[in-house]
Structure 1
Amino acid sequence: MLIAEDLLLLLYDDESGKPITGNPGLDYSLAGAMLIELTLLGKVDIAGAGDHVKEGRLKVLDTSTTGDVILDDRLAMLAGKAGQKPKNLMGKLSKKLRDQVLARLAERGILQADKDKVLGLFPVTRWPAKDARHEAEVRSKLENVLKLGTQPDERTAALIALLSALNVVPKVITDAVDKKALKRRAKEIAESEWAAEAVRKAVQEMQSAITAAIVVSSSAGATAGS
């Protein structure tokens, strides 16, 4: 399972099949998960001091297949983007990504695609859980780290960092008594040495892209309302 697949399972309510957070956060978090996965695989990196591209910009290291169609699609998108700011690529990385991941999870029998119409007119698809066993395993790992204080593996830490950046940890771990402590623990992990600097930077780039998109949207709304 991809990090993005695990993330999407956590961000959709098992019963209602609706997302627990909105955009641009949800789609950009999936894009961030793609960037993290490709970084962990050694396909891309974020430049440091002394690299051949400017510090903080994207480096493309290896464009050979990952063995996963969705990952390969995003890698191909990044192939000609070396030297760009990763946060500026989140929109491109996220294009149609949610639909692809949802469809694949449904094909695997993990989610169910329930088609309906709002007000009898507008088509909508809900994605309730069909087989929640894998998601339960992922949640168990999250709870062990966030509630019991165990050390996370790299993929679990990546999920926690992404959820923390979205500010949805209490919506995912819903039975915690002290939600502030839960958020604090998640933030500590996100800022700790859980992975290489480039991987942590990928989370920061995703968060920066979300913030920038919200600012643009708010500014557009204010202009329209004036």
Structure 2
Amino acid sequence: MRLIAEDLLLLLLDDRRGTPASQHTDLCLGGAVLAELALLGAVTVSERKGMWRSARVRVVPGAVVEDEVLRDGLALVAQKERSAQDLVRRLGKGLRERLGERLVARGILQRRDERVLGLFPRTRWPEVDSTHEEQLRRQLTATLCAGAEPDERTGTLVALLSAVDRAHRSVDHEGLSSREVRRRAKQVAEGDWAADAVREAVQAATAATVAAIAASSAAASSAGSS
């Protein structure tokens, strides 16, 4: 099974260097897992009620998922009721390496462990087979630049990319401006590519990703100024 989070990781990595384009990649991946669990009907993500109340996530009774990453995510959700924002952070922890290894096993990425300045360990994931990513970008281009109707997976991926302002960087614009592609991505994210309950849950998971990124950025800024 190919996860939405795996597709998202490919789109967020620099193909040649194998480094993430965003410092919030792990939070994005956590959001992708939560969104896919919602898409599969394994969890419900309640709508955020007011400024001071976060969306809550609950397991749907009897829910079963096949992929081990999603199973582990579902088990985490089942531990106790948590906010969607908290779960995005927890789900994303260590996920980049786990997904990277899966993509290495499929011959898509290569793992390179090294030390920056001879001191700081770093893992890079350069691409060795671009076939899948090229197909993925064609699907996104058809949706965002040619007006094709997205399926549920593509709609979810567009919603996640739009939330972190990466949609326009993931496609061939085909003559459109970045602003036009961004606008189309927002329209897709808010569109009717899935049943209302599922789409609303995915949108709540996406909003939680944005909130987690904002909280992380604020914390980093505060630490840097202290």
Quick one: distance in 2 between partners of 1:10 and 1:159?
10
Identify the residue that residue 193 of structure 1 maps to in structure 2: 192
- In the TM superposition, residue 181 of structure 1 has moved relative to its aligned partner by 0.7
SS at match of 2:121: strand
On the 8 A contact 1:46/1:59 being kept in 2, the answer is: yes
Quick one: distance in 1 between partners of 2:66 and 2:35?
16
Normalised by the length of structure 1, the TM-score is 0.87
1:84-95 matched pairs, under 5 angstroms? 84-95=82-93
- In the TM superposition, residue 180 of structure 1 has moved relative to its aligned partner by 1.0
Identify the residue that residue 217 of structure 2 maps to in structure 1: 214
Identify the residue that residue 19 of structure 2 maps to in structure 1: 18
Change (3 A) 1:142 1:121: same
SS at match of 2:79: coil
Identify the residue that residue 119 of structure 1 maps to in structure 2: 117
Identify the residue that residue 2 of structure 1 maps to in structure 2: 3
SS at match of 1:79: helix
Once the two structures are superposed, what CA deviation does each residue of 1:36-62 show, in whole Å capped at 9, x if it has no partner?
11112221112369xxxx994212114
Identify the residue that residue 33 of structure 2 maps to in structure 1: 34
* Aligned counterpart in structure 1 of residue 159 of structure 2, from 155, 161, 176: 161
1:1-150 matched pairs, under 5 angstroms? 1-23=2-24, 26-47=25-46, 56-62=55-61, 65-82=64-81, 84-150=82-148
1:203 aligns with 2:206: yes
On the 8 A contact 1:46/1:201 being kept in 2, the answer is: yes
Quick one: distance in 1 between partners of 2:61 and 2:105?
29
Aligned residues: 216
Quick one: distance in 1 between partners of 2:201 and 2:33?
13
On the 8 A contact 1:9/1:135 being kept in 2, the answer is: yes
On the 8 A contact 1:4/1:34 being kept in 2, the answer is: yes
Residue 185 of structure 2 aligns with an amino acid whose one-letter code is A
**Structure 2 segments unaligned to the other structure (5+ residues):** none
Quick one: distance in 1 between partners of 2:104 and 2:221?
34
Change (3 A) 1:197 1:125: same
SS at match of 1:21: coil
Once the two structures are superposed, what CA deviation does each residue of 1:51-96 show, in whole Å capped at 9, x if it has no partner?
xxx99421211465422111111111111222x3211222211111
SS at match of 1:173: coil
Once the two structures are superposed, what CA deviation does each residue of 1:120-152 show, in whole Å capped at 9, x if it has no partner?
333322211111111111111000011111111
- In the TM superposition, residue 219 of structure 1 has moved relative to its aligned partner by 2.4
On the 8 A contact 2:43/2:58 being kept in 1, the answer is: yes
On the 8 A contact 1:113/1:126 being kept in 2, the answer is: yes
